[in-house]
C-alpha cells in the first residue's frame, strides 16, 4: 500500500528539526495529514467541532511510538520516512497551510466569480500526478486529494491550530461582556438591514410592475434598468457579507434558503462564501468609483451650464434634429436625390406626411418640452450623485425621447417597405405557377384545377409592375431612415458599453491578483521535488486564476451587446432592428438571486440560534 503523508512546510523550522516531537493530525486509511507537532503524546480534551478525529499519528526525530515515524534529514531538508516495512511505500506531500483569515484554501475546482448563465460546473476529477505515482485501485478503498474530507482538513489546518492553542486559556468576564455588547450591536444592525431590504424589495417590485400587463418602467427606460440593478445589488449585500462570516448559511447545498433564492450559478463548498465575499467588495468598489466619477462630472456640467444648454437646444434639437432633417426629407421627396428618377406623386405624398409630422413634433417639443439646464439642477444632481452610470442612462433615455419621431419614421417606412417586398415576392410566384403554403411554410406548385385565369394573371402582372416601379421611391425613404436609425442605435450601444464597463469590470479582482493571488483559486498543482529510495516528495500548491479566466465572462458581455440579428439581412428584408436586452445576462454575471424577494429569509438562520 502507498501512504500519502501531507506535511506542512512551516513545521520544518529550526526548532522542530532538532527536537523530538509528536505528530498531531488525522488518519484516513492511506492518508496521513499532519496538523501540528507537540511535545507530549497526551492530547487535552478538545471540544471544538474541527477536533473530531484528531490524534497522535507518530513521532518526529524520535523512536517509533505510533503508526508513523519521521526524521528530519539535513541533505533533503524534508522529513524522511522510516520504511522498516518493505511492503509499504510512502509519498510525502509538503504544502503551505492556507491562511483562512486571508480567504486562502485548496480546491480542485476553480472559484467562479462571474457567470453568464451558460457555463456548466466542471469536475476535474482526481489529480493526475498522484495517480501517476500511485494509481488508486478503488475509490471506496483509498482516499486522495480529490476527496472533500482530505481537502477540508488541509484547508482547516491553521484554524485547528488556532483553536488548539486557545484551549488552555479561559475567557474573562470582560470578554463575556464584550460578546454581549457585540450581540446587541448585531441585533440592532440586523433589524436596520431587514428594514432596508424590505424597502429595496418594494421598490424593485414597483419599477418592475407590468402596466396593462405589457411593459414596466425597466422595460422602457434605461435609468430604471440601472436603478433595478443597483437595488438588486444592495438587496444582496447583506447575504454576501453574512456568508463570509457564517459559511453554514450557504455551505449546505440542500439548504431550503438556497433553493428559494435561486442563485444563477452555484459554486460548491468554500467557493460559495469566497466568491460572495470577493464579488461584494468588487461591487462596493465599483459603486464608490461610479459615484466619485459622477460627482466629478456634475462639477464639470455646472461650470459649463450655458454652453451645454445652448448646444443641446440650438445645435442638436433645432438645427440637427429639425432643420437639417427637414431639408433632407425635402431633398429625397422633391429633388431626385443622387440623380435617381423617383415617382413624383408618391415622393411628394410621403414627404408631406413626414414633414407635417416633423413640424408637429417641433411645435410640441421645442416650444413646450425643450430642456432647460437651470430648471433641472435638482434632477441633474440626483443623477450625478447616484453615479456616472445613472447620468449616462438618463442620456440614453433623453436620446430616445428627442428622437422618438425618427423612430416613428423608421418604423413606418420599414413596414411599408417590408409589405411591398413581401407582396412582390408573392406576385413573383404567380409567373412561376406556384403559391406559398402558409401551413407548411414552403412553396408548392399549383394543381391543374388551381391554375389562374387570364384576368387574374393580368391583374397580378399589373400590380407587380406598379410595385416594382414604386419600389425605388419607397426604398429611398427607407434607406434614409435606416441610416439614421443605425446611427442612433450605435450611439446608444456605445453609451451602454461604457455603462457596462463601469458596472461590471472586475477591478477589485484584478487588484487582488496583484496583492494575493492565492485568494483566487484556479485549482491545485502538484510538482515533483525529489525521490529518496521508495519515497517520493511532492509539493502541493495553489494555482491562481489567469487574467484570461478573470476577464473571460467580462468579454462575453461586450460580445452580446450588439444588434439582435444580421443587419444586412434585416436591411434587405425590411425587418426592424433592435439592440439585445442584457438585463437577465447582467444579473447572471453578478450571480444575483433570481427570487430577490426571498433574500430576507436569510435572517431566519439567526433566529434559530
More confident residue, 466 or 135: 466
Helix (H) or strand (E) holding 21: strand 21-28
Lowest mean pLDDT among 13-17, 134-138, 158-162, 210-214: 134-138
Say yes or no: 298 and 341 in one domain: no
Q: What are phi and psi of 521, to 5 degrees?
A: -70, 120
Domain-located, residue 554? no
The span from the CA of 442 to the CA of 406, in Å, is 36
> How much is the average pLDDT of 118-125?
47
Domain-located, residue 397? yes
Residue 442 has pLDDT above 80, yes or no: no
Q: How confident is the model at residue 343 (pLDDT cuts 50, 70, 90)?
A: confident
Length of the chain: 609
Domain-located, residue 354? yes
More confident residue, 260 or 592: 592
Say yes or no: 289 and 319 in one domain: no
Domain-located, residue 486? yes
- CA-based nearest residue to 387, from 209, 233, 241: 233
Say yes or no: 396 and 430 in one domain: yes
B/e letters for 224-257, b = 16+ CB within 10 Å, e = fewer, are bbbbbbbbbbbbbbbbbbbbbeebebbeeeeeeb
Q: What angle do CA 271, 272, 275 make, to 5 degrees?
A: 75
In this prediction, residue 335 carries a pLDDT of 79
In this prediction, residue 173 carries a pLDDT of 43
Say yes or no: 143 and 223 in one domain: no
B/e letters for 320-341, b = 16+ CB within 10 Å, e = fewer, are ebbeebeeebeebbeeeeeeee
In this prediction, residue 138 carries a pLDDT of 45
Question: Residue 468: CA atoms inside 13 Å, Cβ hemisphere, count?
Answer: 10
Cβ–Cβ under 8 Å, residues 108 and 124: yes
Domain-located, residue 190? yes
User: Please, what sign has the CA dihedral across residues 132, 133, 136, 142?
Assistant: negative
Residue 102 has pLDDT above 60, yes or no: yes
Neighbours of 270 (CB within 10 A): 22
Say yes or no: 240 and 387 in one domain: no
The span from the CA of 587 to the CA of 235, in Å, is 13
Say yes or no: 434 and 287 in one domain: no
Number of domains composing the chain:
3
In this prediction, residue 141 carries a pLDDT of 67
**What's the mean per-residue pLDDT of the chain?**
81
Say yes or no: 21 and 147 in one domain: yes
Domain-located, residue 536? no
Write the CB contacts of 267 (distance below 8 Å, at least 6 apart in sequence). 109, 111, 112, 275
In this prediction, residue 145 carries a pLDDT of 83
Q: How confident is the model at residue 249 (pLDDT cuts 50, 70, 90)?
A: low
Last residue of a domain, one of 115, 134, 166: 166
Say yes or no: 474 and 498 in one domain: yes
Lowest mean pLDDT among 152-156, 176-180, 469-473, 560-564: 176-180
Last residue of a domain, one of 136, 166, 196: 166
The residue range of the domain holding 7 is 2-166
> How much is the average pLDDT of 48-57?
79
What pLDDT digit, counting tens, does each position of 364-377 carry? 776 555 555 456 78
Say yes or no: 270 and 342 in one domain: no
Q: How many helices and strands in the chain, by DSSP H and E?
A: 22, 11
Per DSSP bridges, beta strands 521-532 and 535-544 are antiparallel
Domain-located, residue 583? no
In this prediction, residue 418 carries a pLDDT of 93
Enter the pTM of the model.
0.83
Say yes or no: 218 and 268 in one domain: yes
Write the CB contacts of 165 (distance below 8 Å, at least 6 apart in sequence). none
The span from the CA of 431 to the CA of 82, in Å, is 96
> How much is the average pLDDT of 200-223?
90
Domain-located, residue 607? yes
Say yes or no: 204 and 278 in one domain: yes
In this prediction, residue 253 carries a pLDDT of 53
In this prediction, residue 605 carries a pLDDT of 72
260's grid cell: 428559494
- CA-based nearest residue to 280, from 506, 101, 543: 506
Say yes or no: 348 and 468 in one domain: yes
In this prediction, residue 413 carries a pLDDT of 94
Last residue of a domain, one of 131, 166, 201: 166
Amino acid at each position: 500500500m502507498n501512504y500519502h503523508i501531507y506535511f506542512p512546510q512551516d513545521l520544518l523550522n529550526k526548532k522542530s528539526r532538532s527536537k523530538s516531537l509528536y505528530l498531531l493530525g488525522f488518519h484516513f486509511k492511506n492518508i496521513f495529514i499532519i496538523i501540528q507537532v507537540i511535545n507530549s503524546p497526551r492530547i487535552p480534551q478538545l471540544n471544538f467541532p474541527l477536533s473530531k478525529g484528531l490524534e497522535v499519528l507518530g513521532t518526529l526525530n524520535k523512536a517509533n511510538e505510533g503508526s508513523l515515524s519521521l526524521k528530519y534529514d539535513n541533505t533533503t531538508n524534508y522529513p524522511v520516512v522510516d520504511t522498516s516495512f518493505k511492503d509499504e511505500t510512502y509519498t510525502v506531500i509538503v504544502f503551505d497551510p492556507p491562511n483562512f483569515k486571508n480567504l486562502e484554501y485548496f480546491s480542485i475546482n476553480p472559484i467562479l466569480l462571474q457567470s453568464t448563465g451558460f457555463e456548466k460546473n466542471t469536475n476535474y476529477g482526481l489529480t493526475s500526478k498522484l495517480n501517476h505515482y500511485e494509481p488508486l485501485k478503488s475509490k471506496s478503498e483509498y482516499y486522495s486529494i480529490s476527496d472533500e474530507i482530505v481537502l477540508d482538513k488541509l484547508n482547516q489546518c491553521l484554524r485547528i491550530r488556532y483553536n488548539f492553542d486557545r484551549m488552555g486559556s479561559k475567557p474573562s468576564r470582560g470578554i463575556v461582556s464584550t460578546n454581549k455588547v457585540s450581540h446587541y450591536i448585531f441585533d440592532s444592525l440586523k433589524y436596520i438591514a431587514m428594514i432596508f431590504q424590505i424597502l429595496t424589495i418594494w421598490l424593485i417590485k414597483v419599477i418592475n410592475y407590468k402596466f396593462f400587463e405589457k411593459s414596466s418602467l425597466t422595460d422602457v427606460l434605461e435609468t430604471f434598468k440601472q436603478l433595478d440593478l443597483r437595488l438588486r445589488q444592495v438587496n444582496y449585500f447583506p447575504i454576501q457579507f453574512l456568508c463570509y462570516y457564517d459559511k453554514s448559511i450557504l455551505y449546505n447545498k440542500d439548504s431550503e434558503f438556497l433553493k428559494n433564492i435561486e442563485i444563477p450559478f452555484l459554486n460548491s463548498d468554500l467557493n460559495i462564501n469566497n466568491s460572495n465575499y470577493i464579488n461584494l467588495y468588487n461591487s462596493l468598489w465599483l459603486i464608490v468609483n461610479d459615484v466619485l466619477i459622477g460627482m466629478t462630472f456634475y462639477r464639470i456640467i455646472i461650470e459649463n451650464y450655458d454652453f451645454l444648454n445652448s448646444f443641446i437646444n440650438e445645435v442638436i434639437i433645432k438645427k440637427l434634429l429639425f432643420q437639417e432633417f427637414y431639408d433632407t426629407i425635402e431633398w429625397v421627396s422633391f429633388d431626385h436625390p443622387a440623380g435617381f428618377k423617383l415617382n413624383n406623386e408618391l415622393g411628394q405624398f410621403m414627404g408631406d406626411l413626414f414633414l407635417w409630422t416633423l413640424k408637429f413634433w417641433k411645435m410640441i417639443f421645442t416650444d413646450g418640452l425643450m430642456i432647460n439646464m437651470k430648471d433641472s439642477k435638482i434632477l441633474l444632481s440626483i443623477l450625478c450623485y447616484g453615479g456616472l452610470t445613472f447620468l449616462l442612462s438618463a442620456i440614453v433615455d433623453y436620446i430616445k425621447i428627442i428622437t422618438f419621431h425618427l423612430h416613428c419614421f423608421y418604423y413606418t417606412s420599414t413596414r411599408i417597405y417590408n409589405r411591398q417586398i413581401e407582396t412582390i415576392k408573392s406576385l413573383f410566384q404567380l409567373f412561376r405557377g406556384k403559391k406559398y403554403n402558409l401551413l407548411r411554410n414552403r412553396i408548392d406548385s399549383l394543381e391543374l384545377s388551381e391554375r389562374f385565369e387570364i384576368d387574374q394573371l393580368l391583374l397580378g402582372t399589373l400590380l407587380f409592375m406598379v410595385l416594382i416601379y414604386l419600389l425605388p421611391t419607397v426604398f429611398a425613404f427607407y434607406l434614409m431612415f435606416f441610416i439614421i436609425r443605425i446611427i442612433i442605435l450605435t450611439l446608444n450601444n456605445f453609451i451602454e458599453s461604457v455603462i457596462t464597463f463601469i458596472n461590471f469590470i472586475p477591478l477589485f479582482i484584478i487588484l487582488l491578483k496583484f496583492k494575493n493571488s492565492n485568494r483566487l483559486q484556479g485549482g491545485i498543482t502538484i510538482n515533483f521535488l525529489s525521490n529518496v529510495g521508495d519515497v517520493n516528495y511532492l509539493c502541493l500548491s495553489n494555482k491562481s486564476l489567469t487574467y484570461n479566466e478573470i476577464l473571460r465572462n467580462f468579454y462575453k458581455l461586450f460580445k452580446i451587446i450588439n444588434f439582435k440579428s444580421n443587419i444586412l439581412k434585416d436591411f434587405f428584408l425590411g425587418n426592424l432592428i433592435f439592440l439585445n436586452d442584457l438585463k437577465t445576462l447582467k444579473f447572471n454575471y453578478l450571480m444575483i438571486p433570481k427570487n430577490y424577494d426571498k433574500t430576507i429569509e436569510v435572517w431566519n438562520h439567526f433566529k434559530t440560534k
